[in-house]
Amino acid sequence: MNILVTGGMGYIGSHTCIQLIEAGHTPIIFDNLYNSNAKVLDRIQQVTGTAPQFVKGDIRDKDALVKAMTEHKVDSVIHFAGLKAVGESVEKPLEYYDNNVNGTLVLVDAMRASDVHSLVFSSSATVYGDPASVPITEDFPTSATNPYGRSKLMVEECLTDFQKANPDWSITLLRYFNPVGSHQSGLLGEDPNGIPNNLMPFISQVAVGRREALSVFGNDYNTPDGTGVRDYIHVLDLADGHLSALDKVGSTPGLHVYNLGTGNGSSVLDMVKAFEQASGKSVPYTIVERRAGDIAECWADPKKATKELEWTATRTLQDMTEDTWRWQSQNPNGYSDA
Ligand code: NAD
Ligand code: UD1
């Protein structure tokens, strides 16, 4: 299949392009490079032996999208493009609603104009807000506590209404838990700008000597060791979830909603220990105040995806930490070293 991958130059999108190519599909990457590096194209080629098609463009540009979908005879769209930093979204809500919500509406309008009726959307476990219990199933109530989360929820709601009005479309909402890890080649990985907001990139930058110590945001949660518990999932397992979604429901009219997680929770200190083992480096940390808006624990019940998509996460915490370390140690400054 020819698949338009918006945001395909980014962290999750680039790994998904590798898995798409290796499964025999043709990804057409559509990305404005706002948060990614053009060197990703060479890296995908080095891994797969295939240079992916790339269109530099913005998802708020309907004409450019229609042109890309028509010229490349696109069958389906996987939509990763968007802004994703929670703290920044509080400072810049307009930019977040414009990129994430307006951008998605323009994309769907362009798909309609191009007669492409199959869409897979990158949602997030953030739509569950502060869940009443764990593990989380897809029918849990949804809510938002910041503009980023609200933009994901709004898009889910817009797409749900749109699919109801257009019952021949296949729209899949994939709710990611915490993606970490890198391609096992060490050639691709997560390369955040500035100080990382998320745990794994912060730990790996401490291990490689770019930062002094990790701040652990609170050790007084009601969890086994007091630190926050999350469902970390290897980015390649997540990528494979998109292929399974396309394969199993991408041509089936309907609104399809799945959690993509492992079903296991790990604490901040579990992650520190696992990373120290994988890297052989020490990761000094200090306990600081809780981060505003954080929740104690969050992990998925992934049974629906296992049953309906025949997908399950197979990579272990050791794979996640070893692969992250390979990427970080070979590219201490991310793609700017390439
Ligand atoms: P990323 O920032 O690495 O990738 C996003 C890509 O989209 C970048 O290459 C960026 O240049 C591009 N982009 C942004 N705005 C664009 C626009 N207007 N037009 C065209 N391209 C644009 O992020 P990621 O971690 O790969 O996340 C991908 C998607 O998954 C996002 O929608 C994100 O919200 C969602 N998600 C991510 C996580 C996570 O922890 N990484 C968790 C849950 C959901
Ligand atoms: C964060 C976002 C969430 C988004 C998700 C994507 C917030 C409040 N939430 O979730 O909306 O969908 O990323 O993966 O930003 N931690 C530390 N020190 C650090 C960084 C993190 O102790 O320097 C802890 C956190 O308190 C948390 C855990 O590590 O317990 C994971 O944090 P993070 O990687 O930021 O992910 P989430 O908070 O789950």
Q: Which two tokens stand for residue 144?
A: 């938002």
Strand pairing partners for 77? 4, 119
Three-class secondary structure assignment of 281-309: CCCCEEEECCCCCCCCEECECCHHHHHHH
Q: Which helix (DSSP H) or strand (DSSP E) does residue 6 occupy?
A: strand 2-6
Share of the chain above pLDDT 90, in %: 99
Q: What is the pLDDT of residues 173-212, one digit of tens each?
A: 999 999 999 999 999 999 998 999 999 999 999 999 999 9
Strand 2-6 with 26-31, pairing: parallel
> pTM for the whole thing?
0.98
Mean pLDDT for the stretch of residues 251-267? 98
CA distances from 145 to 2, 90, 124, 152, 301 (A): 37, 10, 13, 11, 22
- How far apart are the CA of 28 and the centre of ligand 1, in A? 16
Mean pLDDT for the stretch of residues 167-178? 98
Res 336: pLDDT: 87
Q: Which two tokens stand for residue 12?
A: 């999750």
Q: Which of 4, 12, 232, 324 has most ligand 1 atoms within 8 Å of its beta carbon, as the pocket-test mutant?
A: 12
Alpha carbon distance 311, 246 (integer Å): 12
Residue ranges of the domains in the chain? 2-180+233-261+301-313
Is any ligand 1 atom within 6 A of the Cβ of residue 59?
yes
Is any ligand 1 atom within 6 A of the Cβ of residue 12?
yes
Query: Long-range contacts: 81-88, Cβ < 8 Å, 24+?
Result: 81/6, 81/7, 81/10, 81/13, 81/30, 81/31, 81/32, 82/7, 82/122, 82/151, 83/34, 83/35, 83/148, 84/148, 85/148, 85/197, 86/126, 86/146, 86/148, 86/149, 86/197, 86/293, 87/197, 88/148
- Closest atom, ligand 1, to C-alpha of 58: 19
Q: What is the pLDDT of residues 44-72, one digit of tens each?
A: 999 999 999 999 999 999 999 999 999 99
- How far apart are the CA of 81 and the centre of ligand 1, in A? 5
Q: Kindly name the residue from 11, 97, 128, 148 that is annotated as catalytic.
A: 148
Q: Are 260 and 239 in contact (CB under 8 A)?
A: no
Res 338: pLDDT: 60
Res 305: pLDDT: 98
Q: Are 269 and 227 in contact (CB under 8 A)?
A: yes
Share of the chain above pLDDT 70, in %: 99
Catalytic residue flag (residue 128):
no
Is any ligand 1 atom within 6 A of the Cβ of residue 103?
yes
Is any ligand 1 atom within 6 A of the Cβ of residue 259?
no
CATH number, domain 2-180+233-261+301-313? 3.40.50.720
Mean pLDDT for the stretch of residues 275-297? 97
Asked if the model's pLDDT at residue 337 lies above 90, the reply is no
Alpha carbon distance 322, 324 (integer Å): 5
Asked if the model's pLDDT at residue 31 lies above 90, the reply is yes
Q: What is the pLDDT of residues 93-124, one digit of tens each?
A: 999 999 999 999 999 999 999 999 999 999 99
- Closest atom, ligand 1, to C-alpha of 79: 32
By alpha-carbon position, which residue is closest to atom 13 of ligand 1? Answer: 81
- How far apart are the CA of 287 and the centre of ligand 1, in A? 30
Asked if the model's pLDDT at residue 300 lies above 80, the reply is yes
